[in-house]
Every structure is written in structure tokens, then in C-alpha cells.
Amino acid sequence: MAYKIIVIGASKGGGQALKTILSVLPVEFPLPVVVVIHREKDSDDGLNQLLQKVSSLIVVDAEDKQPILPGYVFLAPANYHLLVESTSAHCHFALSTAEPVNYAKPSIDVLFESAAEAYGNGVIGVILTGTMKDGAHGLAAVKKAGGQTIVQSPETCEASSMPKAAIAAAKPDNILPLEEIGLFLIKVGQASCLPL
């Protein structure tokens, strides 16, 4: 299977979980990584600088109409939903100021559902630690489109309600301890680039 994009959703405890995953991804990692982590509305929490310290990839806040390229970790900006839009030429981001979804803005569901619509079975969806149930419907949409679905095992989460909701809704392909997720993404990413 040739995957095209990785989408990751996280909430409480997500900063540390993302550091664990991003720290193992190599500079030549072939897939773009797009992250929604629940942030305060007026947040200037320096999340991209924090993650950049451990990541070989370039960590940026996503911008409206920005092309989606490998070599980057794109973060959903605070107080915006982040969507993937597809044109005949390429996929790019769109930012939305619509109302919160599942009490969250940015919403994991919004990103995952739009990525599944744009990329179909080319999506790898990952749900990490967090509270409430944002991401459960989005991960189910990725699964329905034929993408790869991964959930952090609840016993390795700082907050387990979000992963548990995703497991119940999506019946994910893989439930993995946090320390194994980055290595699994490397394996799947390399397989995406093998010649047929």
C-alpha cells in the first residue's frame, strides 16, 4: 500500500507523546505528518519550537492554501480547524473558523474526515492520549476509506478516554504502546516508497 499522509490527533498529554514519536522519524521520512493537538484559543504555547527540538523534520503551523509536502510536521493553529483540500494538481490545507466540533477547535475529526476524503486509502490515522472523544469519528472515516488506523494503547496514555473512544468507534488496525508507534510509522512509510 502506498500511503500519502499521516494525520495524528492528541489532547491531554499529547505534547510529550508527540515528542516521543517525532524524535525517531528520520530526516528522509517520506510522508508529511499533520497534527491536531487541542490547544487554548489564544495559545502561543511554543509547541512548534518544543517539537522542533526533538524532530529531524521541519515543524510549522499550517497555513491556508499551503501545499502538503513531505519533510514537514504541520500543526493545526490554535482556534482554527485544519482541513485537507484536494485539487486535480495537488492537496493543500484550508483553515476554517467554524464552530468547535466535540468542544474542540481545532478538531481532530475535521482533519481526519477531510484527509480521508482527499486521500482515500492513502491515509494513516493515529489517535494518541487525550480526554473526551474527538477523533473517534475521524478515525472511523479513515478506516472506512481503506486507510491504516493506529491508536495508542490506553494503558500507555496520560489520559485514556480519547483512545478508548477511538478503539470503540473505529476498531483500529493497530493498538500500540507509545514507544512503538514511531517505529511502526517508519516501517510503513518505507514500504510506501518501495518500487512495485
Choose, from 107, 114, 134, 137, the residue flagged as catalytic: 134
Tens of pLDDT, residue by residue over 108-159, are: 999 999 999 999 999 999 999 999 999 999 999 999 999 999 999 999 999 9
Mean pLDDT of the chain: 93
pLDDT of residue 102: 84
pLDDT surpasses 80 at 41: no
The stretch 24-49 carries a mean pLDDT of 86
Contacts of 39 (CB under 8 A, 6+ apart): 45, 47, 76, 78, 79, 106
Distance CA 188, CA 171 (A): 19
List the grid coordinates of 118: 482527499
Tens of pLDDT, residue by residue over 56-106, are: 999 999 999 999 999 999 999 999 999 999 877 789 999 999 999 988 999
pLDDT surpasses 80 at 1: no
More reliable by pLDDT, 173 or 2: 173
| Residue 38 appears among annotated catalytic residues | yes
Choose, from 38, 81, 92, 137, the residue flagged as catalytic: 38
Q: At what angle do helices 14-22 and 178-192 cross, to 10 degrees?
A: 50
CB–CB of 8/169 below 8 Å? Answer: no
Angle at 33 between CA 177 and CA 37, to 5 degrees: 70
Other beta carbons less than 10 A from residue 179's beta carbon: 11
Choose, from 11, 107, 114, 160, the residue flagged as catalytic: 11
pLDDT of residue 40: 72
> What are the CA-CA distances from residue 149 to residues 80, 89, 95, 188 (Å)?
24, 26, 24, 12
Confidence of residue 42 (pLDDT cuts 50, 70, 90): low
Q: At what angle do helices 136-144 and 108-119 cross, to 10 degrees?
A: 10
Confidence of residue 45 (pLDDT cuts 50, 70, 90): low
pLDDT surpasses 70 at 193: no
| Residue 134 appears among annotated catalytic residues | yes
pLDDT of residue 196: 45
| Residue 81 appears among annotated catalytic residues | no
Tens of pLDDT, residue by residue over 72-85, are: 999 999 999 999 99
Q: What is the β-pairing status of strands 81-86 and 91-96?
A: antiparallel
